[in-house]
């Protein structure tokens, strides 16, 4: 994964002082790097029963849509509140600076579906946990979570257990 790691740009003090931002845009601009990431995630689920891939707004859409196609699964978008036009389920969750809400169309998943939840980054796990709650409300099962980057020191993996968590790159 050295090739992929070299395509993650580090931006100090963004979005606030003391934060080291991991920018995936150079990775997305590199077709080889993008394919390496997709292959690495998809190969973990070959032979698994995945009915749907849930992508979390917004960069989870990029990876989630491509993975859904590779896994022959449907793609479901989880969006910020107010962005979906049809009937939705909504869940509130805590952020460092307040509260936020995520939504998913109520008819997105079939009862009993096995779901892979995808996003670009795992930090505290709050957003992914909220997405899992939406999946649970529709009677579906979270089979696993997949992330391009995991920030281990923020403990997100523990929040998402016992579901399996796959990350391609880990940073302390």
Q: How many CB atoms lie within 10 A of CB 69?
A: 13
> Pick the catalytic residue: 10, 48, 87, 96?
96
Q: What are the DSSP calls for the chain, one per residue?
A: -HHHHTT-EEEET-SSTT-EEEE-HHHHT-HHHHHHHHHHHHHHTTTS---EEEEETTHHHHHHHHHHHHTT-EEEEEEETT---S-EEEEEEEETTEEEEEEEETTSS-TT-EEEEEEEEESSSHHHHHHHHHHHHTT-EEEEEEEEEEEGGG-HHHHHTTS-EEEEEEE-
Written as six digits, the tokens of 45 are 């689920």
Q: Among 24, 25, 19, 21, which Cα is nearest to 10's?
A: 21
Residue 43 a catalytic site member: no
Residue 152 a catalytic site member: no
> Pick the catalytic residue: 44, 59, 70, 106?
59
Q: Active-site residues: which are they?
A: 59, 96
């Amino acid at each position: 994964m050295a090739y992929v790691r070299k395509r993650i740009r580090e931006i100090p003090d963004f979005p606030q002082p003391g934060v080291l931002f991991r920018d995936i845009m150079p990775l997305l601009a590199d077709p080889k790097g993008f394919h390496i990431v997709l292959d690495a995630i998809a190969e973990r689920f070959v032979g698994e029963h995945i009915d749907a891939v849930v992508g979390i707004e917004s960069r989870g859409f990029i990876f989630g849509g491509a993975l859904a196609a590779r896994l022959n699964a449907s793609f479901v978008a989880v969006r910020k509140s107010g962005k979906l036009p049809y009937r939705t389920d909504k869940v509130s969750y805590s952020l460092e600076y307040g509260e936020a809400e995520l939504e998913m169309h109520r008819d997105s998943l079939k009862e009993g579906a096995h779901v892979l939840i995808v996003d670009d980054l795992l930090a505290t796990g709050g957003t992914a946990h909220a997405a899992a709650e939406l999946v649970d409300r529709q009677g579906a099962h979270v089979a696993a979570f997949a992330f391009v980057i995991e920030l281990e020191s923020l403990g997100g993996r523990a929040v998402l257990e016992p579901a399996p968590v796959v990350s391609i790159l880990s940073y302390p």
